[in-house]
A = this chain, B = another copy of it.
Amino acid sequence: MFKIRSLVTALALISSISVASAWEALPTEAPEPADNKATEAKIELGKMLYHDPRLSSTGTVSCSSCHNTMLGGEDNRPNSMGVNGQTGGRSAPTVWNAAFNAVQFWDGRAASLEDQAAGPVTNPIEMGMKSWDDVVARLESIEGYQKAFDAAFGSVLISKDNATKAIAAYERTLITPNSPYDKYVSGDSSALTAQQVRGMEKMAELGCTGCHIGPAFNGPGMFQKFPINDNAFFAAKYNFKKDQGRAEVTKKQEDAHLWKVPTLRNIALTAPYFHNGSVKTLDEAVKVMAKLQLDKTLTKEEIADIVAFLNGLTGEFPQQKMPVLPGTPGSTFN
């Protein structure tokens, strides 16, 4: 796993990257693990599970409640609301193009979409199920799921492993290609405005693309310290350092305030910003990032240019059919 632990390393990396070659269009297919090849039946099952609130203790919260596939892949809240109105300290990352993250969660504690999918279901403040055994028992009580698992996995029984594989296979279809930026780097020079091109070049010049690299602008697999620079004003206003980030998982002091580099794809649709959702607008997020990560104070015009470019990272959202979730004729678990 690629880790950057200091600004010095980050800057060294920037200088080694050819800026021109760093601009890549989004692939239309995501890489998939050898042990979870997608099939139509698996994707369809995953879509059902992803949208089924019965995977939560109260029957009210599905994956899509916080990572909304009808919106920008999250909930536009500072932090999500799980079962019984509970909230946590972090802002839901978008599910769109999450397939291009080498690690998942803000602290990168899941190595795959499959691993990630297992977490929220049994998190007491998210979906609140007591155990995956309970989830499996509930799914087994729904005849339609028996059939859907059978279609997706053959004779293998309903299990946590297969449920998370199906969800991950579905999530790998959640790709938003053909943003103005993608069209631009694929040769359509009219796809971005002059202002957007200025913003794009400014991002490279400032060093934003030192971390936000790759087709999803997420420096795949890269961790980065945030904030790098101390700033009393922003510290008081946004309280970024309350959360220890990756150190909360590894318990190592050297991982304090390390975070997965998040994608910039569709960032215009995922306000509010940062791991704690404390920054309400994209303008302010750009200003904060430049100051805290690069020690640069941007002009209003520079911020406007960069924001214009970031708006050009909003892609095309695929038309999806709503799943028809299988019922439990004549009874319910509630």
Contact = CB atoms under 8 A, between A and B. Distances in A.
Nearest to A286: B330
B76 A51 contact: no
A216 to B, nearest CB: 18
Contact of A320 (B72, B321, B330): B321
Contacts of A268: 327, 329-330
How many copies are assembled?
A: 2
A269 B325 CA distance: 11
Nearest to A66: B60
A69 interface: yes
Given A70-B51, A269-B329, A322-B69, A60 B75 contact: yes
A224 interface: no
Contacts of A58: 77, 81, 85
A53 B78 contact: no
A321 B321 CA distance: 4
Interface string A249-280: 00000000000000000001101100000001
A299 interface: no
A203 interface: no
B307 A330 contact: yes
A314 B328 CA distance: 12
A200 interface: no
A interface bracket (residues with beta carbon within 8 Å of B): 35 or more
Contacts of A330: 268, 271, 281-283, 307, 311
B325 A311 contact: no
Contact of A77 (B60, B85, B311, B327): B60
B324 A70 contact: yes
Nearest to A62: B70
Contacts of A85: 58, 83-86
A58 B329 CA distance: 32
Interface string A281-301: 111000000000000000000
Contacts of A69: 322
Most chain B CB atoms below 10 A, which of A269, A320, A331? A331
B53 A68 contact: yes
Given A85-B85, A322-B322, A332 B271 contact: yes
27 contacts: A51-B70, A53-B65, A53-B75, A58-B77, A59-B76, A60-B81, A68-B325, A71-B327, A76-B332, A76-B333, A77-B334, A78-B334, A268-B327, A268-B330, A271-B330, A271-B331, A271-B332, A272-B332, A272-B334, A281-B331, A282-B330, A307-B330, A311-B329, A311-B330, A314-B329, A320-B322, A322-B322
Given A77-B332, A271-B328, 10 more contacts: A51-B70, A54-B76, A76-B328, A76-B334, A78-B334, A269-B328, A271-B330, A272-B332, A281-B330, A322-B322
